[in-house]
Chain A
Amino acid sequence: MTSLVIAEHDNTTLKVATLNTVTAALACGGEVHVLVAGANAAAAAAAAAQITGVSKVLHADSEAFAHGLAENVAAQVLALAGSYSHLLFPATASGKNIAPRVAAKLDVGQISDVTQVDSPDTFERPIYAGNAIAIVQSLDAVKVITVRTTGFDAAPASGGSATVESVTAVAASDKATFVGSEIAKNDRPELTAAKIIVSGGRALGSHDKFMEIMTPLADKLGAAMGASRAAVDAGYAPNDWQVGQTGKIVAPQLYIACGISGAIQHLAGMKDSKVIVAINKDPEAPIFSVADYGLEADLFTAVPELVTAL
């Protein structure tokens, strides 16, 4: 029984989500191999070999993998899938894009967003926006799963000494091509990996107010910035800041929700945070039912006060 983790990387460095996925793979038992499919990704492959617990790194290098197109990466995974009992992807935009494609070609079911491994074929995953936890058993020979990164600790990125083996890259499909990307510039900690997150909602009122009020707090705490769907839809904050069922799932040490009512869909994305603070002037806001510390106040006065007090 051997697991293959499909690494997420930018060709030079590994994304932290890969480390959480390795931990989940180790929980499945057996050896853990990592596939690094990329373009000029030797550095990423070398980094994968350092992860504690990984015994082999497979490195497939081709221009076709430069942008992680699902068609091409899935074909590469399928070419190697024969010798593995478990194929694990991080439940990121990239992993969610590719994993079901692999599962369908293997004619097996796929298990999404696994938060716990109970046994090599039994997993726990949230359903209904996190309002229920399903314990599911895979009846297939090969288990294709995506791993909710906040459910598992990151494996140590050093201390390992896996061998790196080059594998032949499969031919690329010409049905989809990469045109371009717009990556939001951000020198703050990555939202899904941040220890502290300050998050704003519709109550901020405008993009300018959002930045004016929330940025000093984030700066002071060295925090990542998040937003509710309402704030994102209204254009106050960029899309990739959205925390919730349809955005990012986060579990920081401290989550400060400012002017967020706490709809089911938002709670699904943050209720596993260690400490939740809610600042809201509506005493009936559902966010207070999950908050460890609630402050019933107008955020336009409370947040600047908080910045001064810190």
Chain B
Amino acid sequence: MKVLVAVKRVVDYNVKVRVKSDNTGVDIANVKMSMNPFDEIAVEEAVRLKEKGIATEIIAVSCGVTQCQETLRTAMAIGADRAILVESAEELQPLAVAKLLKALVDKEQPGLIILGKQAIDDDCNQTGQMLAALADLPQVTCASKIEVADGKASITREIDGGLETLAVTLPAVMTADLRLNEPRYVTLPNIMKAKKKPLEVIKAADLGVDVSPRIKTLKVTEPPKRSAGIKVPDVAALVAKLKNEAKVI
């Protein structure tokens, strides 16, 4: 079966972003960009499924600006076989991405679609679920384990109180949680090989999808700052502060 993996180019998770002084957004000019960490986990899982002989081909997909090609090359260095960039200079919100991915799912007919559970820039946690709804497929979000057999997948997901296991018929949409796996490091030979793998570029407009934003960002502000705290010399002083000053115990 084919596996489709969606990857997003985001500000690297180690970067401390700053809000622009005109409050129109965060300043992402000249900051390091990387593959969304959850998407790395998604790609890794697809590659492991291929190594187990379950997946036959892995297609990495990204929607966004031209530079997303770098993210797709990373996915191919991890082990994806080919890549598709749906190019759009516009801001793409989760619903638009889900619609673009749906168009590709119709075309490629994958048996499993894996996404990260959320992107660390917009923190939405929506695209996988939206894609499942649009394509009328079952979904398992926040997956920490998957076993595939006989056209079905048994997937364990992280929920608030612990874990739950669901059985879904394939094709299905799964979103990867942190503990699904530990992504491998890409090696230099694989980076070189990835440069030769096919990368197809499609214009978003050619897929006949309405990608207009449904949610307008009016303003982006700094979160309220915490006032500077104090250091206490010892445990006794800490207890005294908590009891008498903060009155929380």
Residues of A in contact with B (beta carbons under 8 Å apart): 67, 69-71, 74, 92-94, 96-105, 107-113, 122, 126-140, 173-184, 186, 192, 196, 221, 229, 233, 238-240, 245-246, 248, 253-254, 264-265, 271, 274-277, 288, 290-297, 302, 305-306, 309-310
Contact = CB atoms under 8 A, between A and B. Distances in A.
Contacts of A175: 137-138, 168-169, 172
Contacts of B235: 295, 297, 302, 305-306, 309
A179 B154 contact: yes
Given A136-B217, A240-B162, A305-B235, A294 B123 contact: no
Contact of B123 (A71, A113, A253, A302): A113
Contacts of A92: 160
Interface residues of B, number: 78
A296 B234 CA distance: 8
A107 B219 CA distance: 24
22 contacts: A97-B139, A100-B128, A105-B134, A110-B95, A110-B130, A111-B215, A131-B19, A131-B26, A134-B220, A135-B219, A176-B139, A176-B168, A178-B165, A184-B162, A233-B179, A239-B162, A271-B223, A275-B246, A290-B226, A292-B229, A292-B246, A310-B239
Contacts of A310: 239, 249
A97 B164 contact: no
Contacts of A238: 162
Given A253-B248, A293-B230, A306-B238, A109 B93 contact: yes
B158 interface: yes
Contacts of B11: 128
B165 A180 contact: yes
B52 interface: no
Interface in B170-227: 172, 177-179, 213-223, 226
Contact of A246 (B122, B141, B178): B178
B167 A176 contact: yes
Contact of B17 (A71, A110, A131, A276): A131
Given A229-B178, A305-B235, A127 B121 contact: yes
A6 to B, nearest CB: 14
A302 B163 CA distance: 34
Interface in B87-139: 93-95, 98, 117-118, 120-134, 137-139
B232 interface: yes
Contacts of B141: 70, 96-97
A202 B17 CA distance: 25
A216 to B, nearest CB: 14
A109 B214 contact: yes
